[in-house]
């Protein structure tokens, strides 16, 4: 796409024509003094022809200079600009129980999370987002990056059981602390504060694996300035016989304690609609840094008319030298 950076400089283009018109109006008319010894310097057909050629030459030279001055550019395709905002990690449980279809028809818990959390990722423009999948062990599926499309794709590719059938909540928090500290060391000291580091941990069970206890990991996270929002998913347990509560593997007390220790909040999502409401609530509590920014690379073209003007200046200089000799 052709773009003119300084179009207002095109107003200079008619200056040679205006100069010619004003000079013609100022020339005297009527009777003139005749001096025989200046007869050879009088106007003639050859002189008039040379004058017209000079006018054309200098007009073209001027237009080329004006064309260079307006800075013609060729704009390339828009490219995203990396922006600095929150460092937000999503830790998603992919243990065996996430295959339970109890939140939205026949869809599994993980499939519901993929749909809802995927939209949440897409709205985090301006932030760096990463993805941790955990079961018996935690794995960093996507490092912190402003490339939200890639993180969304990695979440969609997650499968139940890829990290083992058990649940290691403490180890998942520990991996998040490690990755955020590593990102801070790589980025050096900047204006970003520790309060901009957030972990959203989603699980449907209790911690029954791993080397680090969940509450111990939460205290380490609080010391590192990591705020954790915990989400418990899965249908609410149905009452048993005589009104007694049914069985549920979700350890809500631990998830509430993790959120409290780190300054976050705990949410319960029994179906797809409530899970959407949870992510909307987190969006309000931790608003995205800003809209995605773009820039278009510009290829400067002013050198071409400027070079042509330089070449034309050679015959122009030659003509002027003949006029003065």
Q: How many other β-carbons are positioned within 10 Å of the β-carbon of residue 272?
A: 19
Side by side, which strands form the sheet with 197-203? 138-145, 128-134, 87-93, 197-203, 227-233, 266-269
**Arithmetic mean of pLDDT, 146-166:** 92
126: left (phi over 0), alpha (psi -120 to 50) or beta: left
- Answer with the residue of higher pLDDT: 39 or 257: 257
CA distances from 31 to 25, 28, 34, 197 (A): 16, 9, 9, 91
Closest to 304 measured CA to CA, from 39, 24, 140, 70: 70
* Per-residue model confidence as pLDDT tens digits over 23-71: 665 555 555 555 454 454 445 555 555 567 777 777 888 888 888 888 8
Could you please report the per-residue DSSP string of 49-113?
HHHHHHHHHHHHHHHHHHHHHT-EEEE---EEE-----EEEEEEE-SGGGG---SBTTB-HHHHH
Radius of gyration of the chain, Cα coordinates, nearest whole angstrom? 37
Burial class (CB in 10 A: 0-12, 13-18, 19+), 67: buried
**How sure is the predictor about 108, in pLDDT bands with cuts at 50, 70 and 90?**
very high
Do residues 265 and 259 make contact, with C-beta atoms less than 8 angstroms apart? yes
Q: Does the structure show a pLDDT above 80 at 78? A: no
Do residues 86 and 198 make contact, with C-beta atoms less than 8 angstroms apart? yes
Give the residues across from 158 on adjacent strands.
none
Reduced to 3 states (helix: H, G, I; strand: E, B; else coil), residue 262 is helix
At residue 241, the pLDDT reads 46
Helix 45-69, helix 303-324: angle, nearest 10: 150
Highest mean pLDDT among 133-142, 187-196, 232-241, 247-256: 133-142
Mean pLDDT, the chain, integer: 81
At residue 111, the pLDDT reads 94
* Per-residue model confidence as pLDDT tens digits over 268-315: 999 999 999 999 999 898 887 655 566 677 788 888 888 888 888 887
* Per-residue model confidence as pLDDT tens digits over 221-253: 999 999 999 999 988 776 554 444 444 678 899
Q: Which two tokens stand for residue 284?
A: 């309000």
CA distances from 316 to 57, 59, 243 (A): 7, 11, 103
Could you please report the per-residue DSSP string of 14-49?
THHHHHHHHHHHHS--S-----GGGGGGS--HHHHH
Q: Does the structure show a pLDDT above 80 at 197? A: yes
At residue 83, the pLDDT reads 53
Q: Phi and psi for 109 in degrees, rounded to 5?
A: -60, -40
At residue 245, the pLDDT reads 43
Q: Which two tokens stand for residue 229?
A: 């929002």
At residue 243, the pLDDT reads 46
Q: Does the structure show a pLDDT above 60 at 184? A: no
Do residues 200 and 91 make contact, with C-beta atoms less than 8 angstroms apart? yes
Could you tell me the domains of the chain? 2-21+44-77+296-324 (no CATH), 81-293 (3.40.50.410)
Query: Over pLDDT 70: what percentage of the chain?
Result: 77
- Answer with the residue of higher pLDDT: 50 or 257: 257
């Amino acid at each position: 796409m052709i773009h003119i950076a300084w179009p207002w400089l095109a107003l200079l283009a008619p200056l040679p024509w205006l100069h010619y018109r004003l000079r013609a109006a100022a020339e005297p008319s009527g009777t003139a003094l005749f001096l025989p010894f200046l007869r050879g310097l009088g106007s003639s057909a050859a002189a008039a022809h040379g004058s017209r050629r000079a006018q054309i030459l200098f007009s073209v030279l001027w237009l080329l200079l004006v064309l260079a001055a307006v800075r013609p550019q060729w704009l390339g395709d828009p490219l995203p600009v990396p922006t600095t905002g929150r460092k937000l990690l999503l830790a998603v449980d992919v243990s065996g129980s996430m295959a339970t279809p109890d939140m939205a028809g026949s869809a599994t818990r993980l499939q519901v999370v993929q749909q809802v959390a995927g939209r949440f990722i897409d709205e985090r423009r301006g932030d760096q987002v990463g993805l941790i999948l955990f079961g018996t062990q935690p794995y960093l599926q996507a490092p912190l990056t402003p490339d939200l499309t890639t993180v969304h794709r990695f979440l969609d590719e997650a499968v139940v059981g890829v990290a083992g059938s058990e649940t290691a909540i403490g180890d998942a928090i520990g991996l998040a602390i490690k990755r955020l500290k590593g990102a801070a060391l790589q980025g050096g000291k900047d204006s970003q504060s520790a309060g901009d580091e957030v972990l959203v941990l989603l699980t449907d069970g209790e911690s029954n694996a791993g080397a680090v206890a969940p509450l111990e990991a939460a205290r380490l996270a609080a010391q590192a300035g990591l705020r954790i929002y915990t989400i418990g998913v899965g249908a609410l347990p149905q009452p048993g016989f005589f009104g007694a509560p049914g069985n549920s593997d979700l350890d809500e007390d631990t998830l509430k304690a993790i959120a409290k220790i780190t300054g976050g909040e705990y949410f319960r999502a029994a179906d797809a609609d409530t899970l959407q409401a949870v992510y909307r609530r987190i969006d309000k509590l931790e608003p995205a840094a800003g809209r995605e920014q773009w820039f278009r690379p510009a290829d400067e073209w002013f050198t071409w008319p400027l070079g042509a003007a330089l070449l034309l200046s050679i015959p122009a200089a030659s003509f002027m030298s003949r006029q003065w000799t």
